[in-house]
Amino acid sequence: MADVTVRVWRGNAQGGAFHEYRVPVEEGMVVLDVLHRIQAIHANDLALRWNCKAGKCGSCGAEVNGHPRLTCMTRMNIFTPGETITVAPMKTFPIIKDLVTDVSFNFQVAKKIPAFQSRPPDAPDGSWRMMQEDIDRVQEFRKCIECFLCQNVCHVIRDHEGKKQHFAGPRFFVRLAELEMHPLDTGTRTGLVKEFAGIGLCNITKCCTEVCPEHIRITDNAIIPLKERVVDEHYDPVVWLLRKVLGKR
Amino acid sequence: MAIEAVKHAGDRGAAPTALRKDAWWVQPALTVLGLGAFIVYSTWAAFQNAYYYADPYLSPFYSPCVAANCQHLTVQLVGSWWTWSPAFLILWAPGVFRLTCYYYRKAYYRSFWWAPPACAMPDARRGYDGETSFPLVFQNIHRYTFYLAVLFIVILTWDAILALRFPDGFGVGVGTLVLWVNVVLLALYTFSCHSCRHLCGGHVDIFSRAPFRYRIWHRLSMLNERHALFAWLSLTSVGLADLYVRLVAMGILRDVRLL
């Protein structure tokens, strides 16, 4: 059993500081285990949010050595022996206490996205028919666990506070792509994607994809296809003309 | 237990800013070096207006050669009034294709703009409008530059076919292989493009009603996963193909006939 030095940010909305703790670690531990050990040994008032400890609830996001990560999925053996580990709260969201942040911005955005609008049932019993190839693409988006690490790392939200009211963020581009590409959904959201969600503010630097613990290819499979759909609707004169001539939407 | 004080960070509480201590600057630095080297070399090569044809090889920087002053005319579209390098008449098209490419946008926004320089590192500039205003709103023309890029693939394939035709008949030289490898890598880069993937099938919501477009989209998606790799490989190959033709034309290298 070796000891590890961990610097944990502690404080509240008014301010705070890094506190340094030294705790024993064992093989197989993750950063969340270390934080629990700090709670048990040194600081039983350390606030952190966690639930499943299996990378599925999305609660324990933090910045470990500056990288947005789920602490329950960050194994201690990725660090160099003797390295001091820094754990800080997600920078983008207001701090409540220690590692716990107020992520309600995301729920406010979620409320503004129109719900699924299904076409009429395909069969008299009220059911629908879909082929596997129809649904494969949107199933990737359903893997999202709403940990909001992508929202946290997105520089539009993180570094440009004034843009937050005009920008939904990567998690909600995933949601919009899921609805927009769903074979049963009849809603059209490209106007919403351009105006309310502000997709033009995204400069596709792919940090959201890099931090996603579910390995959703957010930029390639959600954001860029949405950008292309916005181009179809708003920037492509040939597509516009074809729609006029052929009378298609 | 030691306590280290940090500065407060305004109204968002005291969450510390950049905490990364790893070598986050390596990737942007390599991108600046790689893209910078290509821009310098290609600009120099375009200004040379010489040594771009070594029978039967035509440098991809000068193909199609469309001015009357070409060493090896592909098709004459511009008269003898054009006295500058014919490379300037065509290089803008692949240049704009790469400039508006979704991969290169990521690369240069990070490396040159520092918006952001790396994940979880702060933007260099306080103001930010993304791609919503002039000139970056013109990134949305990428699909049109893709159409032009496809035309270039056709022309460069024709050049690669001509590279099999030596004065004494059919043959294969090292230069032939260089031009073929180059056009294959350029084609992989062009057809793995995100706009291509969208136009060929990505715009469809119900794939089972468009099985042909689904099959194309599915295959292009596999290519698309390696778009960044193809971007760098093709950038390198097109530069090396020009360099090879140039060295052969200058007599510094002797083209070895394999067949």
Name the residue among B79, B90, B86 with its Cα closest to residue B151: B90
Strand partners, A86: A7
Nearest to A65 among B21, B110, B137 (CB): B21
Q: B130, A203: Cβ pair inside 8 Å?
A: yes
Q: What is the chain B residue with the closest CA to A151?
A: B120
Among B134, B146, B207, the residue to mutate for chain A (most A Cβ within 10 A): B207
Nearest to A10 by CA among A40, A44, A50, A58: A44
Strands, E assignment, chain A: 2-12, 15-25, 61-64, 67-70, 85-88, 95-97, 100-101
Question: Does residue B2 sit within a domain?
Answer: no
Exposure b/e, A88-102, CB count within 10 A at least 16 = b = bbbbbbbbbbbbbbe
Contacts for B7 with CB less than 8 Å, ≥ 6 apart: B14
| Chain B neighbors of A133, CB-CB under 8 A | 207-208, 214, 218
B44 within a domain of the structure (yes/no):
yes
Amino acid at B23: A
**Tell me, what's the ipTM?**
0.92
A85 bridge partner residues: A6
Task: Note the CATH number of domain A2-101.
Answer: 3.10.20.30
- Residue in A187, A199, A204 with CA at minimum distance from that of residue A227: A199
Q: Report if residue B15 sits inside a domain.
A: no
Angle formed at CA B110 by CA A58 and CA B102, multiple of 5 degrees: 85
Bridge pairing between strands A85-88 and A100-101: unpaired
- The residue behind tokens 């990378």 is A55
Residues within 8 A of A (CB atoms), B 150-169 only: none
Question: What CATH class is the domain A104-246?
Answer: mainly alpha
CB A223 within 8 A of CB A216: no
What is the tally of structural domains in chain B? Answer: 1
Which tokens hold the place of B167? 């004065």
Check if the beta carbon of residue A114 is closer than 8 Å to that of residue A92: no
The per-residue pLDDT for range B174-197, each reduced to its tens digit, is: 999 999 999 999 999 999 999 999
The residue among A84, A97, A95, A89 whose CA lies nearest residue A71 is: A89
Contact A41, A24 (CB under 8 A): no
The tens place of each residue's pLDDT in chain A, 249 residues long, gives 689 999 999 999 999 999 999 999 999 999 999 999 999 999 999 999 999 999 999 999 999 999 999 999 999 999 999 999 999 999 999 999 999 999 999 999 999 999 999 999 999 999 999 999 999 999 999 999 999 999 999 999 999 999 999 999 999 999 999 999 999 999 989 999 999 999 999 999 999 999 999 999 999 999 999 999 999 999 988 888 888 888 765
> Pairing relation of β-strands A67-70 and A61-64?
antiparallel
**Crossing angle of helices B142-162 and B92-99, rounded to 10°:** 130
Residues of A in contact with B194 (CB under 8 A): 220, 224-225, 228
Q: How far apart are CA A101 and CA A216, in angstroms?
A: 24
Beta-carbon contacts of B99 under 8 Å, excluding residues fewer than 6 positions away, are none
Q: Do A101 and A18 touch, CB atoms closer than 8 A?
A: no
Note whether residue B255 is domain-resident.
Answer: no
Residue range of the domain that includes B116 = 24-250
Residue A131, chain B, CB below 8 Å: the answer is: yes
Alpha helices in chain B (DSSP H): 26-48, 87-90, 92-99, 102-108, 142-162, 174-191, 194-197, 211-224, 227-250
Asked, for residue B189, whether it belongs to a domain, the answer is yes
- Nearest by CB: A13 against B2, B13, B205: B13
pLDDT for the residue numbered B6? 42
Instruction: Give the number of other Cβ atoms within 10 Å of residue A151's Cβ.
Output: 28
Does B16 reach chain A within 8 Å, measured CB to CB? Answer: yes
Q: Which helix (H) or strand (E) holds B165?
A: strand B165-166
Residues whose CB is less than 8 angstroms from the CB of residue A201 and which lie 6 or more positions away in sequence, other chains included: A156, A163, A166, A167, B128, B129, B130, B131, B132
Minimum Cα–Cα distance from A6: chain B residue? B1
Give B-chain residues touching A220 at CB under 8 angstroms: 194, 224-225
Measured between alpha carbons, how far is A47 from A49 in angstroms, rounded to an integer? 7
Q: Locate the domains of chain A by residue range.
A: 2-101, 104-246
The reply to whether B4 falls in a domain is: no
pLDDT in tens, chain B (259 residues): 444 444 334 334 445 567 898 999 999 999 999 999 999 999 999 999 999 999 999 999 999 999 999 999 999 999 999 999 999 999 999 999 999 999 999 999 999 999 999 999 999 999 999 999 999 999 999 999 999 999 999 999 999 999 999 999 999 999 999 999 999 999 999 999 999 999 999 999 999 999 999 999 999 999 999 999 999 999 999 999 999 999 999 999 999 999 8
For B11, which residue in chain A has the nearest alpha carbon? A13
C-alpha torsion sign, points A179, A181, A184, A188: positive
Q: Crossing angle of helices B174-191/B211-224, nearest 10°?
A: 120
Q: Is residue B259 assigned to a domain? A: no
CA distance A16 to A42: 17
